[in-house]
Amino acid sequence: GAVVSQHPSWVICKSGTSVKIECRSLDFQATTMFWYRQFPKQSLMLMATSNEGSKATYEQGVEKDKFLINHASLTLSTLTVTSAHPEDSSFYICSASNLDRGYEQYFGPGTRLTVT
Amino acid sequence: DAKTTQPPSMDCAEGRAANLPCNHSTISGNEYVYWYRQIHSQGPQYIIHGLKNNETNEMASLIITEDRKSSTLILPHATLRDTAVYYCIVRVVLGTYKYIFGTGTRLKVLA
């Protein structure tokens, strides 16, 4: 399999501040990256899809001005939660894929965000 | 909406085979079935995938019915470390290849 990392693994921030989460594909070039959110005891919910060099495509109900996604290179995508509130507290997971690997998604370890 | 339905939970005795069912009755001809598992507070781990033939790898076997409306993941000799939430996913093509996660099955392997 391929290796995908996320940084930080956990973060605590105050309400109203912004938080950036990084997702890196370490051993392959990811033309497409995905961002998911997972609340406790629930399944993963797809937030957005980002293709390198293009604007992200957001799923219905996900605020694009609140969850800023940048995919500036084939190995790095970032998710910025702007003006975070306690209800944004969640487990954020990214995945990476490309054509050479049959578009199979390789998942990162996740980032636990707590907004106080 | 998820394209798969799975039982919410299952128990399995250690050393026995764990058979996890999944229904995907609305699957289209070019949509693959993927299985992942998620151990608490970690990212999902790939297990296996298939289109219409049965598949086997070092982790598991995947049995897909001839009409492709359901499948079964088989862990041949479950261990305590196999305790996890198992997700059956249909990979759809909507502009790009997306996974739509269902609710998954929480498998508990009992000593």
Closest residue to B97, CB basis, from A36, A103, A107? A103
Gap between the Cα atoms of A48 and A87, Å rounded: 18
Name the nearest CA neighbour of A78 among A17, A25, A27, A15: A25
- CA torsion, points B51, B52, B54, B55, in degrees to nearest 10? -10
Tokens linked to B108: 């508990």
pLDDT tens-digit profile of A86-101? 999 999 999 999 877 7
**Could you list the pLDDT tens digit for every one of the 111 residues in chain B?**
668 999 999 999 999 999 999 999 988 888 899 999 999 889 999 999 999 989 999 999 999 999 999 999 999 999 999 999 999 999 887 667 888 888 999 999 999
Closest residue to A108, CB basis, from B43, B97, B102? B43
Say whether B66 sits in a helix, a strand or coil: coil
User: In chain A, which residue's Cα lies nearest the Cα of B84?
Assistant: A41
pLDDT tens-digit profile of B50-59? 999 899 999 9
Beta bridge partners of B34: B49, B89
Gap between the Cα atoms of A64 and A48, Å rounded: 9
Check CB contact of A28 with chain B, cutoff 8 Å.
no
